[in-house]
Chain A
Amino acid sequence: MLKILIIMIVGIILGRITRDRIHLSIKTVTFIIVWTLLLLLGYEAGGNDAVMHSIPTLGARAIIISSASIAGSILFSCLLWHSIKNRGGER
Chain B
Amino acid sequence: MKSSIFLLIPFLIGIIIGNSHILPDSIKDIELSSYALAFLMFFVGMGIGRDTSIFSKFMSLDRRMLLLPLCTICGSLCGSYLASLFMIHTPIHNAMAVASGMGYYSLSSIIITQYINPEWGTIALLSNIIRETAALLLAPAMYKLFGPLPIISVGGATTMDTTFPIIINIAGEKYSIVSIYHGFVTDLSVPFLVSFFCLI
- Chain B contact residues: helix, strand, loop or mixed: helix
Count: A-B pairs, CB below 8 Å: 284
- Chain A contact residues: helix, strand, loop or mixed: helix
Contact code string A45-58 (vs B, CB < 8 Å = 1, else 0): 11110111011001
Q: How large is the interface on B (under 10, 10 to 19, 20 to 34, 35 or more residues)?
A: 35 or more
Chain B residues close to A by CB (< 8 Å): 7, 10-19, 21, 23, 25, 28, 32-33, 36-50, 52, 61-62, 64-65, 67-68, 71-72, 74-80, 82-84, 87, 89-90, 95, 98-99, 102, 119, 122-123, 125-134, 136-137, 142, 146-150, 152-154, 156, 160-162, 165-166, 168-169, 173, 184
Q: Are A69 and B44 in contact (CB under 8 A)?
A: no
Given A10-B45, A73-B76: A65 and B129 interface contact (C-beta under 8 Å): no
- In the complex, which residue of chain A has the Cβ closest to the Cβ of B138? A70
Q: Which residues of A contact B122 (CB under 8 A)?
A: 50-51, 54, 58
Q: Are A16 and B50 in contact (CB under 8 A)?
A: yes
Q: How many residues of A contact B (CB 8 A)?
A: 73
Q: Are A65 and B82 in contact (CB under 8 A)?
A: no
